[in-house]
Amino acid sequence: MAFENLRKYWPTYSFAQPFNAMMLLAAIVASFLFFPGQGTGDGGSSGTLLKFLHLFSVCTHFGTQTWVTFVAGLTMFHNLPRHTFGHIQGHLFPKYFTMGSVLGLVAMVTYMYEHRHGDMTTHQKIEIGVLVSVFVSALLNAALIGPTSLELMTQQYMIEKEHGHGDEIGTHPSGKIRQDPKYQKVRRQFLQYHAISSLVNMVALVGNGIHVYYLACQLAGI
Q: What share of the chain is helix, strand, coil (3-state, %, to 5)?
A: 80, 0, 20
Residues 6+ apart with CB under 8 A from 113: 46, 50
**pLDDT tens digit string along 161-215?**
888 887 888 777 777 777 888 989 999 999 999 999 999 999 999 999 999 999 9
> Is 163 in a helix, a strand, or coil?
coil
Q: How many CB atoms lie within 10 A of CB 53?
A: 16
Rounded to 5 degrees, φ, ψ at 47 are: -85, -175
What band does 22 get if pLDDT is binned at 50, 70 and 90? Answer: confident
What does the pLDDT read at residue 119?
A: 83
What is the mean predicted confidence (pLDDT) over 95-103?
96
- The answer to whether the CB of 203 falls within 8 A of the CB of 69 is no
86-117 core/surface letters (b: 16 or more CB in 10 A; e: else): bbebbeebeebbbebbbbbbbbbbbbeeebee
What is the mean predicted confidence (pLDDT) over 41-70?
84
- Give, for 112, the enclosing helix (H) or strand (E): helix 82-114
What does the pLDDT read at residue 105?
A: 97
Radius of gyration (Cα) for the chain, nearest Å?
22
What is the mean predicted confidence (pLDDT) over 101-124?
91
What does the pLDDT read at residue 134?
A: 98
Averaged pLDDT of the chain: 86
What does the pLDDT read at residue 169?
A: 84
- The answer to whether the CB of 47 falls within 8 A of the CB of 38 is yes
Residues 6+ apart with CB under 8 A from 97: 138, 141, 142, 146
Distance CA 131, CA 146 (A): 20
The sign of the dihedral angle between the CA atoms of 58, 60, 61, 63 is positive
On the question of pLDDT at 23 being above 90, the answer is no
- The answer to whether the CB of 157 falls within 8 A of the CB of 116 is no
Residue in 148, 122, 124 with CA at minimum distance from that of residue 200 = 148
Report yes or no on whether pTM surpasses 0.75. yes
On the question of pLDDT at 38 being above 60, the answer is no
Is 47 or 10 the better-scoring residue by pLDDT?
47
Residue in 31, 17, 106 with CA at minimum distance from that of residue 61 = 106
Is 125 or 21 the better-scoring residue by pLDDT?
125
